[in-house]
Structure 1
Amino acid sequence: MPDPRFFETLSPLSVADLAARVGGTVERGGERMVRSVAPLSSAGEGAIAFLGDRKFAKALAETRADCVITPAEAVAAAPSGSAVISHRTPQAAWAQASAMLHRTIALDRAASASEAAEDDTLVIEPGVILGQGVRIGRGSRIGANTVIGPGVQIGRDCVIGSNVSVGFALIGDRVKLYAGARIGEAGFGATGTATGVMDIPQLGRVILQDGVTVGANSCIDRGAYDDTVIGENTKIDNLVMVGHNCVIGRNCLLVANTGISGSVTVGDNVIFGGKAGIGDHITIGEGARVAAGAGVLADIPAGETWSGYPARPIRQFLRETVWLAKQAASRKGPRES
């Protein structure tokens, strides 16, 4: 279930009603009621999940969701205890269901500093807006014109710079967010439909653990359903992008212009050089190093240093670079030499 501090859960719907609204076909269990959405792996009683790719067939077989949305050819693979809706575009149907069952809590009314503060050591600079349910620990400072969305929790001795926006987030102690940082915006999720591309509601959170620093104008997206997590004491430079569902370990360094796509898992003590780019659903092992400008398209084992595009182990990259330079030099014509 999405965190009730950030998302309102609406009235439940029957499977038959929901299928009619999303343009699907009820295969079984039309009378069953659903009240939330979830991924196949974590769905339980009252939840609806979907199969968007055959590689998740095992997760479909093991899901405990009360209802699943699948392509017509995968209906037989759904668990016998689940209601089933068949649909040509299951992910799009699930996204529509998300919007029918959950709604973000809007910043309709601001809270006062006294409502949000743990004690009178909190400093609120001019122009700050605090949503309902915000809680901020002692010794923290919120910079001018910053917006803290409803339900956000901020720990003690934090420094939030000016013109920062924070939403859908749980923030530990001694966290620093420099000017213009954007924490908890919707992750980049979209799917195709018969009428074009549609956004997928993002129902997760951002968790910044103790001692995290986020540089100016950097962005950390909230999870699509699970959380985006930045581990303890990790330091993020200016102009860095961290996509939804990423889990970044402790004591990592992300240098300026690094871009990390969605659902990347990073171990502790990893360093990313400037302008490193990481593809989605990649795992980077503990203590690895990613050189500046590298484009990572495959998992990196623990302790290794990778460089180049596509990135590969640095010794291999250097050997290939030297070989290529020698080949180019050997092919110079008389006029070039």
Structure 2
Amino acid sequence: MMPDARFFTTSAPLGLDDLAALTGGEVVRRSEVAVTRVAPLAEADAGSLAFMADRKFAAALSASGAGVVIVPPSAVDAVPAGAAVIVSREAQAAWARVAAHLHRPILLEAAGPSDVCEDDTVVLEPGVVVGIGARIGRGSRIGANTVIGPGVQIGRDCVIGSGATIGFSLIGDRVKIYAGARIGEAGFGAAGAAGGPVDIPQLGRVILQDGVTIGANTCIDRGAYGDTVVGENTKIDNLVQIGHNCIIGRSCLIAAHTGISGSVTVGDNVMFGGKAGIGDHIAIGEGARVAAGAGVLADIPAGETWSGYPAKPIRQFLREAVWLARQVNRKKD
């Protein structure tokens, strides 16, 4: 899958010598390949450039269909026989440089209301800017000084507050996004390199399904390659951070100051208390509850309530808290 053409342009294909020049790497295995896109190992095809920088992805490398792979010197022999190989001690940073060259975000150019509004029931308050290729559905209202990026699709009967920014996003019907929210900004990703960290281009989207509410000044990052998704009827409070590639289920409740790191998967009907913090690549099962201020560093099974830091099942947390209080009181006596 290419990055969504509503949000990104893709440059002309690159040959191996072009790739070597961009990355500073060395071609150690050649083939007649033209790279048209970058991709993760698991999603790469014959026209894709992928990379492996860590041995924990060795299995994904051996199964990858990538046409070209960037790897450290120690991993050359693990690359499938049909792929061309570029060696770099900064494989991820090299991949990021190619990604930034091949796939570039479409820049904002303002469109006229008649080009983006479904009909005259759409209200654009003063100062609204809407990019070319965007579309706003019937009955929606966009608050003053909000910026809707190129290609963004907004459904019917939505309410967008003032001063919000929405980019790289597909938004369903009856969605509410309150003032100052930032939807679709680049997720936090950087690759180590000799000259300092290199930004990893974020090539995915944000998808907000029907009936979602997003609180004021909340930030939801677009995916690094795939999508960040918020499920139907989920309600998110003010000042919440949701990182790239998160999948949030339906009818979840997320209270203020919660921070959810990248690539977290949340089931339906999950509740987060205020200031909960979730580590990356965590899975939280359906109907689980995360207490206020909890720091989640492990998967939470469906239906369980966890609390504390590091978070654990609430009965265990309370037993330990009572035991600790008793020990403190004994020492005082």
User: TM-score if structure 1 supplies the norm length?
Assistant: 0.97
Alignment-mate amino acid for residue 217 of structure 1: N
CA contact (8 A) 1:16 1:30 kept: no
Equivalent residue runs for 1:1-337 within 5 Å: 1-29=2-30, 31-107=32-108, 109-332=109-332, 337=333
Deviation at 1:119, TM superposition (A): 1.1
Deviation at 1:220, TM superposition (A): 0.1
Matches of 1:247 and 1:106 in 2, distance apart?
27
Tell me, what secondary structure is at the counterpart of 1:13? coil
Matches of 2:18 and 2:116 in 1, distance apart?
41
Alignment-mate amino acid for residue 272 of structure 2: F
Tell me, what secondary structure is at the counterpart of 1:33? coil
Tell me, what secondary structure is at the counterpart of 1:34? coil
Residues 29-71 of structure 1: CA deviation (Å, up to 9, x unaligned):
2542101101111111311011122111111111111111111
Tell me, what secondary structure is at the counterpart of 1:263? coil
Q: Structure 2 unaligned runs (5+)?
A: none
Deviation at 1:82, TM superposition (A): 1.1
Residues 144-176 of structure 1: CA deviation (Å, up to 9, x unaligned):
000000000000000001000000000000000
Matches of 2:46 and 2:26 in 1, distance apart?
21
Deviation at 1:20, TM superposition (A): 2.3
CA contact (8 A) 1:297 1:310 kept: yes
Q: Structure 1 unaligned runs (5+)?
A: none
Alignment-mate amino acid for residue 46 of structure 2: E
Matches of 2:116 and 2:57 in 1, distance apart?
43
Alignment-mate amino acid for residue 260 of structure 1: I
CA contact (8 A) 1:14 1:30 kept: no
Alignment-mate amino acid for residue 186 of structure 1: A
Deviation at 1:298, TM superposition (A): 0.5
CA contact (8 A) 2:31 2:83 kept: no
Call closer, same or farther: CA 1:296–1:265 in 2, change over 3 Å: same
CA contact (8 A) 1:16 1:31 kept: no
Matches of 1:165 and 1:53 in 2, distance apart?
36
Residues 117-153 of structure 1: CA deviation (Å, up to 9, x unaligned):
1111101100000000000110100000000000000
CA contact (8 A) 2:289 2:303 kept: yes
Residues 272-327 of structure 1: CA deviation (Å, up to 9, x unaligned):
00000000011101110000000000111111100000000000000000000001
Call closer, same or farther: CA 1:266–1:151 in 2, change over 3 Å: same
Tell me, what secondary structure is at the counterpart of 2:298? coil
Alignment-mate amino acid for residue 94 of structure 1: W
Matches of 1:138 and 1:261 in 2, distance apart?
34
Tell me, what secondary structure is at the counterpart of 1:91? helix
Tell me, what secondary structure is at the counterpart of 1:26? strand
Q: Which runs of 4+ in 1 moved over 4 A?
A: none
- In the alignment of these two chains, the number of paired residues is 332
Matches of 2:174 and 2:319 in 1, distance apart?
44
User: TM-score if structure 2 supplies the norm length?
Assistant: 0.98
